[in-house]
Amino acid sequence: MTSTKISAVISDADVLIDYVRAAKSVLEIMAKQMWDVHVPSAIIDEVDELSLTEARKMGLILYEPTIDELTEAAVRGGPLSERDKLCFCIARNNGWACLTNDGLLRKRCRGENVQVIWGLEALRILYEHDILSMLKAIDTAWAIHRVNPHYIHADLVQEFVVSMEEND
């Protein structure tokens, strides 16, 4: 299967942290085989387990925001954090998808027709494009749950597993 190449901005470090802690190899596969994964440098700074050098080796593309993007993101008010606003601005301005688990950021993106991809949804897409096996996708989802059980609940992973098996 071939794919249309899209670029993804990883927001607020949530998805990035989950993949770095649970499955760096899958994040590298995403960045080298599926998408051009752009990550604002401010987001990389939030991830203690990932250096700039390692991020580059994994295929992540470090993005330096423009002055206009930084200025827009710094405007106070609204439910989004400054870093979420920054990811939104970058995704919107470049026509990229936003890879995030943050509900408020997803809502903002959808409201302005910015494509959004859930963290676990990325695993499904890798599987659908024959880049990742179903077993690896499911194992990775459970690994993400183990490192982030507060937000990636067992019920959510079980729904993911069932949907993967039903669509196979």
Map residue 116 onto helix, strand or coil: strand
- Spell 143-166 as b/e; 16+ CB within 10 A means b: bbbeebeeebeeebbeebbeebee
pLDDT bracket for residue 1 (50, 70, 90): very low
Q: Give pLDDT, residue 3.
A: 44
Reply yes or no on whether the pLDDT at 6 is more than 90.
Answer: no
DSSP 78: S
Q: Give pLDDT, residue 12.
A: 76
The H or E element that residue 61 is part of is strand 61-63
Q: Give pLDDT, residue 33.
A: 93
Q: In sequence order, what DSSP letters do the residues of 79-98 get, joined into one string?
A: SS-HHHHHHHHHHHHHT-EE
How confident is the model over 111-123, as a mean pLDDT? 95
Reply yes or no on whether the pLDDT at 145 is more than 80.
Answer: yes
pLDDT bracket for residue 116 (50, 70, 90): very high
Q: Which structure tokens are listed for 90? A: 């970058």
Q: Which of 63, 56, 65, 64 is nearest to 27 (CA)?
A: 56
Question: 7-166: what fold?
Answer: Rossmann fold (3.40.50)
Q: Which of 63, 59, 7 is nearest to 28 (CA)?
A: 59
- Spell 73-99 as b/e; 16+ CB within 10 A means b: beeeeeebeebbbbbbbbbbeeebbbb
**Span 11-59, pLDDT tens digits:** 778 999 999 999 999 999 999 999 999 999 889 988 999 999 999 999 9
Q: Which structure tokens are listed for 98? A: 């936003």
Locate all alpha helices (DSSP H) within the chain, ordered by sequence: 14-22, 24-29, 41-46, 52-57, 67-74, 82-94, 103-111, 119-128, 134-147, 154-166
Whole-prediction pTM: 0.90
Residue 98 and residue 115 in contact, taking contact as beta carbons nearer than 8 Å: yes
Reply yes or no on whether the pLDDT at 109 is more than 90.
Answer: yes
Reply yes or no on whether the pLDDT at 2 is more than 50.
Answer: no
pLDDT bracket for residue 5 (50, 70, 90): low
**Span 50-68, pLDDT tens digits:** 999 999 999 999 999 999 9
